[in-house]
């Protein structure tokens, strides 16, 4: 006789854990809502079920079958991730293994027909872009991954099971840590030599609380070079909590504190000179990197981007790191930002508070702007693909508009209000067009002149939308404005003018005789003259008794390259003009030459205090000579204009006058200068000019330009020695 199967009756117990914790097999403290749901920001889902109703039928329900299939699929995905594919024979319905394998190798005829009909149906229907999903990794950090990523698929399966199941098997634990491993050796590669310390060593290097209080206050109250990335009220609470229990500090947050201290120290030293009461900025920078390495910053935890950005800013401010090194580190910052979802607008991401979302927009905007300039400086394309980013610009808010715990953003302040982020927001539109210009000039694909004109108009439109308070204004008309505001105006204007120069400079030499490209030559020359005029304006205001004399240190952030680029453009145009019409100097040519001489005198006045100014002054000497006389390799066909004496006049940017050159012992004919051949090749208009090579030549500290300065110093036949003033 066939024995009837005996069904085991389970006791209908009252569940004691909330449903999300039961589904995920997490510890529940039975509160309402429980701590686990609060930590996961799922308070609305935290509720407790009554006695479960069990299906007393021997036949499995559809829900049970669905749960079983989901569990098998989760096991399969988790096994693939860990490199251990589950045995198909071990699954329920193992007899289907052959069918599954055959489906992988090729669809049946019926399946192929279904796929074809589905494709025809989908052609007319747009597909909505799926928002990134939050994935909880090891250490509690949250990363955001694309909807097609395996982690996103696995997370979605778990959520379906959480909604369907009440008593399920424990979910397989994700131990891959592919989105953030602990003690990743890549941390050491980014910051070499930063691992030989522990928390005790780092805390012992921290200044006293009194000194830290002063420096933190100085940073948050400064208006120059402070990016507005850190909310002061939120940081104050974290700062007070740290001093109550320093040994329990998060290492990444501690790295952020050291970065703030190094920035504040650098700003105070630049403004007021050395101060024995301040900590050593090199030590602060070293401790920052040690905290980032020990805290495993590659795990993309909270505060890591802010700490990295401030650390890089501190290194740039003090000149401790080359442009190439900063660019490589910026690439690391961008990778972390993408993993943390900063390239997507917070409105499309789950579990992002209103305040954190607005601060994330500020961080991302600073990353985009810094990367655009850094990539241009090293001569490479941008590392941020704009087509994959939709983070909108932040609002023009004071920090008081964004209290901790805010739920709804208020309307932004008008763009006439000078907030901590107004400058960055105003510059953003110009920066985005500048990024398009660099992509246009660096692309390997064929480009059209119409696109060049379009970018010119787009840049002018972007600058016209800059708030009036941040548009160009002569310094003599800005006597009521703070120096930081004057500096902000200058940097935005320089970016705008540099964009016009870069977009038009390819047409400066090659197509000079072509009337169609005459607008590009004219726009390029006009922008270059404006840049040198702004340099003269700034230099005059920085002299003793000038409007910016007390704050002249701020304007040191204006890069030497921008002024040298403008000078190079003018020299190239002069060279082409004199080749076409030797000896012909029209009003524009005289204006260009006068601007070059004023710029050279400005750099020469500072050459004893700045290595960059020294190189710039000597580079301009060579440029001016190349414009005033032909290269030594070609005979002169016309008498050149009177030669230029670079140091005979006082170093004031006054109206240029005719300068005479002394004749030291009838030294003979002009014989050339060190590094003259490569420089003449660049600016005499005799061959195609590689602007990317020139950018690298002029911008790299320690590169060819620096070597030129050293060789010039060592040369007994240098221009300075010939004039008996070296």
Give the pLDDT confidence score for residue 215 in this predicted structure.
96
Does position 263 have pLDDT exceeding 50, yes or no?
A: yes
Q: Which of 222-226, 417-421, 619-623, 648-652 has the highest mean pLDDT?
A: 417-421
Please report how many Cα atoms fall inside a 13 Å half-sphere around the Cα of residue 448, on the Cβ side.
3
| Average confidence score pLDDT of the chain | 74
How large is the average pLDDT for residues 9-33?
A: 77
| pLDDT > 70 in the chain, percent | 63
Q: Which has the closest alpha carbon to 619: 711, 490, 687?
A: 711
The Cα–Cα gap between 135 and 144 comes to 6
Q: Is 719 exposed, middle or buried (0-12, 13-18, 19+ CB in 10 A)?
A: buried
Residue 95 — pLDDT band, cuts 50, 70, 90? very low
Q: Which two tokens stand for residue 260?
A: 């703030």
Give the pLDDT confidence score for residue 522 in this predicted structure.
92
Q: Which two tokens stand for residue 53?
A: 């109703």
Q: Which has the closest alpha carbon to 342: 318, 368, 320, 317?
A: 368
Q: 140-154, 382-396, 555-569, 643-657 — which is least confidently predicted?
A: 643-657
Distances (CA, A) of 290 to 189, 190, 195, 254: 12, 11, 6, 10
Q: Which two tokens stand for residue 269?
A: 């030293």
Q: Which comes out higher in pLDDT, residue 190 or 703? A: 190
Does position 636 have pLDDT exceeding 60, yes or no?
A: no
Give the pLDDT confidence score for residue 414 in this predicted structure.
96
Does position 127 have pLDDT exceeding 70, yes or no?
A: no
Q: 308-322, 466-480, 688-702 — which is least confidently predicted?
A: 688-702
Whether the Cβ atoms of residue 85 and residue 79 lie closer than 8 Å to each other: yes
How large is the average pLDDT for residues 171-200?
A: 55
- Find tokens 């955001």 and name the residue: 144
Whether the Cβ atoms of residue 631 and residue 684 lie closer than 8 Å to each other: yes
Q: 57-66, 74-83, 465-474, 622-631 — which is least confidently predicted?
A: 57-66
Whether the Cβ atoms of residue 447 and residue 480 lie closer than 8 Å to each other: no
Q: What angle is formed at CA 210 by the lines to CA 204 and CA 216, rounded to 5 degrees?
A: 95
Per-residue pLDDT reduced to its tens digit, 476-530:
888 888 888 998 999 999 999 999 999 999 888 754 568 888 899 999 999 999 9
Does position 183 have pLDDT exceeding 80, yes or no?
A: no
Q: Which comes out higher in pLDDT, residue 682 or 594? A: 594
End-to-end CA distance of the chain: 117
Residue 260 — pLDDT band, cuts 50, 70, 90? very high
Q: Which two tokens stand for residue 601?
A: 């005198």
Q: Which two tokens stand for residue 431?
A: 């920066």
Q: Which two tokens stand for residue 377?
A: 């400086």
The Cα–Cα gap between 70 and 84 comes to 18
| pLDDT > 90 in the chain, percent | 37
Give the pLDDT confidence score for residue 577 in this predicted structure.
75
Q: Which has the closest alpha carbon to 351: 129, 27, 38?
A: 38
Residue 686 — pLDDT band, cuts 50, 70, 90? very low
Q: 39-43, 320-324, 715-719 — which is least confidently predicted?
A: 715-719
Does position 257 have pLDDT exceeding 80, yes or no?
A: yes
Eight-class DSSP state of 133:
E
How large is the average pLDDT for residues 673-679?
A: 43
Whether the Cβ atoms of residue 630 and residue 644 lie closer than 8 Å to each other: no
How large is the average pLDDT for residues 698-716?
A: 41
Give the pLDDT confidence score for residue 45 in this predicted structure.
82
**CATH architecture classification, 14-51:** Irregular (4.10)
Q: Which residues are 133's β-sheet partners?
A: 145
Q: 109-113, 442-446, 647-651 — which is least confidently predicted?
A: 647-651
Tell me which H or E stretch contains 679: helix 676-683
Give the pLDDT confidence score for residue 721 in this predicted structure.
33
Per-residue pLDDT reduced to its tens digit, 131-145:
555 555 544 455 555
Residue 98 — pLDDT band, cuts 50, 70, 90? very low
Q: What is the pTM of this model?
A: 0.69
Q: Which comes out higher in pLDDT, residue 57 or 478? A: 478
Per-residue pLDDT reduced to its tens digit, 348-405:
888 899 999 999 999 999 999 999 999 998 888 999 999 999 999 999 999 999 999 9
Per-residue pLDDT reduced to its tens digit, 265-311:
998 888 777 888 899 999 999 999 999 999 988 887 899 999 999 99
Distances (CA, A) of 189 to 92, 184, 195, 289, 463: 47, 10, 11, 11, 40
Q: Which two tokens stand for residue 185?
A: 């050796």
Does position 122 have pLDDT exceeding 80, yes or no?
A: no
- What is the residue extent of each domain of the chain? 14-51, 132-163+473-629, 196-321, 348-471
Give the pLDDT confidence score for residue 35 in this predicted structure.
86
Does position 216 have pLDDT exceeding 60, yes or no?
A: yes
Give the pLDDT confidence score for residue 479 in this predicted structure.
84
Does position 77 have pLDDT exceeding 60, yes or no?
A: yes
């Amino acid at each position: 006789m066939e024995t009837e199967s005996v069904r085991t009756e389970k006791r209908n117990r009252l569940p004691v854990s909330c449903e999300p914790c039961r589904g995920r097999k997490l510890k529940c403290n039975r509160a309402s809502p429980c701590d686990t749901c609060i930590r996961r920001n799922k308070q609305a889902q935290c509720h407790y079920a009554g006695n479960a109703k069990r299906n007393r039928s021997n036949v499995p329900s559809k829900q049970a079958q669905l749960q079983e299939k989901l569990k098998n699929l989760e096991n399969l995905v988790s096994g693939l991730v860990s490199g251990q594919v589950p045995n198909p024979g071990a699954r329920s319905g193992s007899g289907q293994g052959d069918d599954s394998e055959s489906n992988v190798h090729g669809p049946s005829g019926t399946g192929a027909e279904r796929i074809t009909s589905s494709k025809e149906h989908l052609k007319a229907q747009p597909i909505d872009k799926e928002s990134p999903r939050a994935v909880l990794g090891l250490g509690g950090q949250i990363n955001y991954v694309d909807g097609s990523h395996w982690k996103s698929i696995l997370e979605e399966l778990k959520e379906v099971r959480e909604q369907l199941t009440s008593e399920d098997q424990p979910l397989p634990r994700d131990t891959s840590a592919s989105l953030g491993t602990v003690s990743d050796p890549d941390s050491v590669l980014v910051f070499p030599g930063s691992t030989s310390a522990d928390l005790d060593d780092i805390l012992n290097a921290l200044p006293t609380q009194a000194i830290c209080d002063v420096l933190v206050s100085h940073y948050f109250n400064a208006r120059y070079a402070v990016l507005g990335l850190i909310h002061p009220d939120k940081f104050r609470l974290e700062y007070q909590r740290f001093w109550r229990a320093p040994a329990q500090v998060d290492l990444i947050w501690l790295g952020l504190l050291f970065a703030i201290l190094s920035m504040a120290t650098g700003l105070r030293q630049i403004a007021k000179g050395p101060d024995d009461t301040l900590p050593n900025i090199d030590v602060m920078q070293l401790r920052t990197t040690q905290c980032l390495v020990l805290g495993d910053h590659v795990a993309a935890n909270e505060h890591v981007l802010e700490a990295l950005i401030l650390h890089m800013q501190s290194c740039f401010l003090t000149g401790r790191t080359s442009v190439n090194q900063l660019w490589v580190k910026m690439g690391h910052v961008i990778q972390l930002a993408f993993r943390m979802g900063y390239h997507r607008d917070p409105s499309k991401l789950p579990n992002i508070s209103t305040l954190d979302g607005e601060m994330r927009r500020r961080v991302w905007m600073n990353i985009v702007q810094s990367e655009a300039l850094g990539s241009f400086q090293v001569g490479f394309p941008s590392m941020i693909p704009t087509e994959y980013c939709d983070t909108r610009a932040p609002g023009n808010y004071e920090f008081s508009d964004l209290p901790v715990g805010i739920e709804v953003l208020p309307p932004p302040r008008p763009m006439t209000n000078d907030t901590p982020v107004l400058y960055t927001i105003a510059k953003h539109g110009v920066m985005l067009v500048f990024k398009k210009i660099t992509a246009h000039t660096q692309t390997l694909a064929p480009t059209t002149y119409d696109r060049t004109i379009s970018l010119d108009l787009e840049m002018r439109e972007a600058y016209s939308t800059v708030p009036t308070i941040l548009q160009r204004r002569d310094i003599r008309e800005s006597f009521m404005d703070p120096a930081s505001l004057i500096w902000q105006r200058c940097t935005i204007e320089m970016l705008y003018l540099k964009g016009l120069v870069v977009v038009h400079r390819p047409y400066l030499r090659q197509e000079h005789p072509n009337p169609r490209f005459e607008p590009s030559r004219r726009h390029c020359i006009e922008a270059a003259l404006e840049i040198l005029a702004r340099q003269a304006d700034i230099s005059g205001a920085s002299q003793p008794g000038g409007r910016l004399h007390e704050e002249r240190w701020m304007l040191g952030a204006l890069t030497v390259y921008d002024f040298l680029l403008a000078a190079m453009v003018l020299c190239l145009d002069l060279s082409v003009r004199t080749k076409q019409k030797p000896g012909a100097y029209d009003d524009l040519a005289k204006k260009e030459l006068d601007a070059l001489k004023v710029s050279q005198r400005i750099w020469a006045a500072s050459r004893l205090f700045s290595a960059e100014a020294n190189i710039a002054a000597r580079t301009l000497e060579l440029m001016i000579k190349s414009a005033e006389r032909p290269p030594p390799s070609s005979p002169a066909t016309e008498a050149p204009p009177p030669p230029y004496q670079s140091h005979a006049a006082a170093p004031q940017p006054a109206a240029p006058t005719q300068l005479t050159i002394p004749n030291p012992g009838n030294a003979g004919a002009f014989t050339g200068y060190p590094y003259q051949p490569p420089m003449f090749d660049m600016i005499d208009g005799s061959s195609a000019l590689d602007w990317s090579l020139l950018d690298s030549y002029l911008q790299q500290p320690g590169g060819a330009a620096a070597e030129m300065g050293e060789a010039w110093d060592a040369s007994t036949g240098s221009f300075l020695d010939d004039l008996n003033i070296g």
